[in-house]
Structure 1
């Protein structure tokens, strides 16, 4: 059974004078034990998708489409059932653990809170459960008595992962979980996440702007731009040979170690993603696209199938595959 199924998800925010569409018709699925990465620049809608999965968006947001977690409709779910699904069915690891942890409470108490709220273990067994969780993420049990400011950035992120695992969820959403960490700690956290997900059959949706991180961690990769998925496929293939110009630009923006040409001529992408309240006509990527044609101003392409279990939303891809 599919663990997470998202169909035609739309999210818009109320603003002065109307609505701004932050997510426009996003669809994807995730099976138990699999890992899907979502990439894109800031403002492309990645975090909005993550928050929508458990209805954590502000009241100014309007959600459409369908979100099913383990077969249950999240959008139409009653508050009591939604509260039960959060943490126990699906949990989120947020970016910046220091902002997510309570600065005046010991980390052990914060890990214990979802266990106590959901009643997944008798109260007398909770301290042992907390100690076990800390050990699973590579921290000694005595760290349960620490306050967040007494931990390093990597240790705080490990505490966040322990909290996410506290109620043994089937789905974990990781929103930029390693952005604020140095490369050594980042590698440790990614290895830890990979071991925990692979060993327990947990489905994971990982969001990041770093394609290298997603290629090393995830099975499949979806690239988002202006609120839509513009390319999707096996992670390694998308990074190595992107079929959409935006995916290619993201991949080229990361210099390759040992490649003199990459180091001496780094390639970026001029401009910024469009304002959701003022999207360009036709293809949203057209104003920044290095290979845009006149027809791109007339057509807003959908995802076209590409050999190798891939898809890309570009009229040039459709024309090439039709030949």
Structure 2
């Protein structure tokens, strides 16, 4: 009787890296064409894992809102977009219209700044929250009304407010309604574009806590945009700083806020007084001048005309993001040096 050899153990398969919920690769957005072309976003690479929270910061005009609109192809027809925007592995930029329509609200949704301008003044709140449920075939008319009330309660408003019109609500209440609408179809990603800019500090704190709790409890990915590094550092896991359409620094949110490696990140962080820091309260720092006009960007590093530590090379050589350790990327010739860190 012959003995069959025992089968050898199968080789251990290497662990596959987890795919990001959202991955932006080499994103470029340009308004217009030819000599009048205006580059608003220039080669942005970002990623948001499921349940992760990424903040994007920068002054007005740095490309933050254009980035947000590009994620779901909400840009005007004059915009030319290239690169990849992978949502759960699917490229939003190449989706057919029917698939894109299905992804909006259900796969990803956006909370815009200025809720009064985003809500329809002539429709009741409950009708507007129910609309995405009906459009996506997730509910009947009667059930959608009940779900609208439940969503309002989820964001801290009584279900009875579903009968109100937008003008009958306060600014904070309207922003809560926008969050309820964003959650209606149970998306995996929420993009929040300056969700607390028009609110007082007490209501702002409440809205931020609400967003954090919802993201944590429902394992939702969050990409939050703001000009305020302090808000993002307190809310997000990671932070990306944009300038002139590019990411100039990215890393753990608290690390970037407390000790940015890029001069622009340091300037943004120091522009806000810090509680307990008498020097920053009496004389908050900042930067002279304004961000460059996207249609007339300076040569070399776009930040060098305003940079307090610029070198001669900065005027001629454009800087690209490079790893500097500890999960950080910085686009600065001084990154990693004593002057840059």
Verify same fold: TM over 0.5: yes
Q: Distance in 2 between matches of 1:71 and 1:15?
A: 30
The residue matched to 2:117 in structure 1 has which SS?
A: helix
**Structure 2 equivalent of residue 38 of structure 1:** 56
What's the CA shift string for 1:285-322, capped at 9, x where partnerless? 0000000011111111101211211011001116669x
Is 1:293–2:311 an aligned residue pair? yes
1:2-17 correspondence to structure 2 within 5 Å:
2-14=20-32, 17=35
Structure 1 unaligned runs (5+)? none
The residue matched to 2:84 in structure 1 has which SS?
A: strand
**Structure 2 equivalent of residue 242 of structure 1:** 260
Q: Distance in 2 between matches of 1:90 and 1:172?
A: 6
1:147-186 correspondence to structure 2 within 5 Å:
147-186=165-204
May I ask how many residue pairs the two structures share in their alignment? Answer: 322
**Structure 2 equivalent of residue 119 of structure 1:** 137
1:256 Cα offset (Å): 1.2
Q: Distance in 2 between matches of 1:264 and 1:95?
A: 30
RMSD: 1.4
What's the CA shift string for 1:51-98, capped at 9, x where partnerless? 000000001100000001111110011111111100011000000000
**Structure 2 equivalent of residue 308 of structure 1:** 326
The residue matched to 2:296 in structure 1 has which SS?
A: coil
**Structure 2 equivalent of residue 218 of structure 1:** 236
1:181-200 correspondence to structure 2 within 5 Å:
181-200=199-218
* Structure 1 segments of 4+ aligned residues over 3 angstroms from their partners: 318-321
Q: Conserved in 2, the CA contact under 8 Å of 1:304 and 1:318?
A: no
Q: Which has the larger radius of gyration?
A: 2
What's the CA shift string for 1:24-52, capped at 9, x where partnerless? 00001111101000000000000000000
What's the CA shift string for 1:111-168, capped at 9, x where partnerless? 0000000011233311111111000000001000000000000000000000000100
The residue matched to 2:251 in structure 1 has which SS?
A: strand
**Structure 2 equivalent of residue 140 of structure 1:** 158
What's the CA shift string for 1:182-224, capped at 9, x where partnerless? 0000000000000000100000000000111101100000000
State the TM-score, normalizing by the size of structure 2.
0.92
1:50-69 correspondence to structure 2 within 5 Å:
50-69=68-87
